[in-house]
A and B are shown apart, each in its own frame.
Chain A
């Protein structure tokens, strides 16, 4: 797993998910400047992010952690096993006291299908950082509700939309969709017109919600 993340791949390697994305190799270090369209002076490239913080963590965790900067935004790609520790450290030692968002991205073609992303902010440093990890479908991830109470609803939403379970979440259930709904709509294999017909028919008493 470490190898996956260590390669300085720009975040999404969605091999062939869309026809246009075909060309994007998973391990393309150079920014994909292939389309002629984007007439930019220089293609932005994720560059390694070096800072005392990164050095510290790298020495501590070694290969499980990788730090990059893309368009001036810093992010860690960390191994799934490091997740609760590194988040806690970031909050306790580095004052990333504000969890802006928790979200996920689905890459169905990948072995570990999901990226889970924490967007953190530190009031004292006025700095943002993203923490990313990859997990497989059906795998669970430790909840960060105890680190930031705000994670409660955010994790529920990720669960609702992607079906990623968070261990230790006090009340993991659907938040936006009704409780009995089947399917997780933000997965790529969930069609945009798709619905839980059964739920609609039983609960709304209509044939279809379309």
Chain B
């Protein structure tokens, strides 16, 4: 490209590009210069403040480098200066579209450290809310992903239906997005009157809506062309790169923490783990659509069998776990969300390490987009389903 067009960008990004092991062709055939493009941090399709430096040959991607950290708030540092209970709301601000899942993971980790167990009713409430949140997260993903690929309309459909979930959250705990729904030892709030009825109504409401999304996209030729065989990642690569969640399952690995190492009350429900075959963008789309349906199944069972009883275990007012360390992880909508908590016996955690699925999954971007086109980078960023609040923490 004309250097008059790209000199400035070159200078800015040359350092950041240092690790791009780009195989430049031995002898350039015709004089084709590479173009270095800065996608983000202000870009409509990077889902926040992600900056991707692309090295292009024409429109073909030779290599990428993600520059992250624009949203870094030092969540782990904050944790060391808050009590266990005080840190709970901060957790919601990481993956803010799946705040309930985040809270579930943290509360269970601390409960494990305290060696207490939440009552069964609390576990059921947790499962219902978490699965609702999974649907909400997938709906948001679907809308934005479709928007990235150029289909505007699904975004509004999914947001319309996500609204119903947020209404349930709002009625349950007063907040829609950063819910802070659970407490260490169980749940703070009993379900409101009519909770079961509303959840059941939601189930019958949303099932046809999921069919509606699928009607718009699943057999749409343009959608197929844009997603099939795009951003492929093999199961071996996915495992080596630590990719989890729907991205891993779309590559054919039938692994879901809800089944593999059940937490909360998941061992009591009957559901399937949808998997894909090719590990391409389309399979990831199908897996997430199927997961939404499986979540509906889980919610239906949970809401029908929800037991009576207390919702809070006996937890001391001042939470002081014994000295020790624990790693606990759950299946968040985006993958394995782990908490590694080190306690020194005081009221504040000595160290909290969050294992964010988005952060690790994002690392696979480079592997997935090499050799594809610029437009595919957008599709792949969308399909990994990252939330920058969680990547940067």
Contacts and interface: CB of A to CB of B under 8 A. Distances in A.
**Contact between chain A and chain B defined by CB under 8 Å:** yes
Interface of A: 10-12, 14, 17-21, 23-24, 28, 31-35, 37-41, 43-44, 46, 70-71, 73, 97-101, 103, 105-106, 117, 119, 123, 126, 128, 130, 148-150, 152-154, 157, 161, 170-171, 174-179, 185-186, 188, 190, 192
A43 B242 CA distance: 34
A12 B351 CA distance: 10
Given A100-B329, A117-B340, A71 B324 contact: yes
Contacts of A174: 69
Given A119-B338, A186-B77, A44 B115 contact: yes
Nearest to B81: A192
Contacts of B323: 10-12, 21, 24, 28, 31-32
Given A99-B242, A123-B253, A105 B351 contact: yes
B119 to A, nearest CB: 16
A176 B72 contact: yes
Contacts of A185: 74, 77
B355 interface: yes
Contacts of A10: 323-325
B353 A70 contact: no
Contacts of A157: 359
Contacts of B261: 126, 128
Contacts of A153: 359-360, 363
Contacts of A175: 68-69
A150 B355 CA distance: 12
Contacts of A14: 344, 350
Interface stretch (B97-105, B295-303, B314-322): B314-322
B268 to A, nearest CB: 19
A152 B321 CA distance: 33
B255 interface: yes
Interface in B328-357: 329, 336, 338, 340, 342-348, 350-351, 353, 355
If over half of A's interface residues share one DSSP class (helix, strand or loop), that class is named, otherwise mixed; here it is: loop
B327 A12 contact: no
Contacts of B347: 20
Contacts, number: 163
10 contacts: A10-B324, A20-B344, A20-B345, A70-B325, A71-B112, A123-B255, A152-B363, A175-B68, A188-B80, A190-B77
Nearest to B114: A38
Given A20-B320, A41-B115, 18 more contacts: A18-B346, A21-B344, A21-B350, A28-B323, A33-B322, A37-B316, A37-B318, A40-B114, A103-B355, A106-B351, A153-B359, A161-B76, A170-B19, A171-B19, A188-B80, A192-B77, A192-B78, A192-B81
A39 B116 CA distance: 10
Contacts of A40: 114-116, 322
A149 B351 contact: no
Given A10-B323, A12-B325, A73-B326, A34 B345 contact: yes
A188 B342 CA distance: 14
B344 A44 contact: no
B316 A71 contact: no
Smallest CB-CB A-B distances: 8 pairs: A150-B242, A171-B19, A20-B346, A176-B69, A21-B344, A103-B353, A101-B355, A37-B316
A119 B355 contact: yes
Contacts of B115: 40-41, 44, 71
A144 B355 CA distance: 17
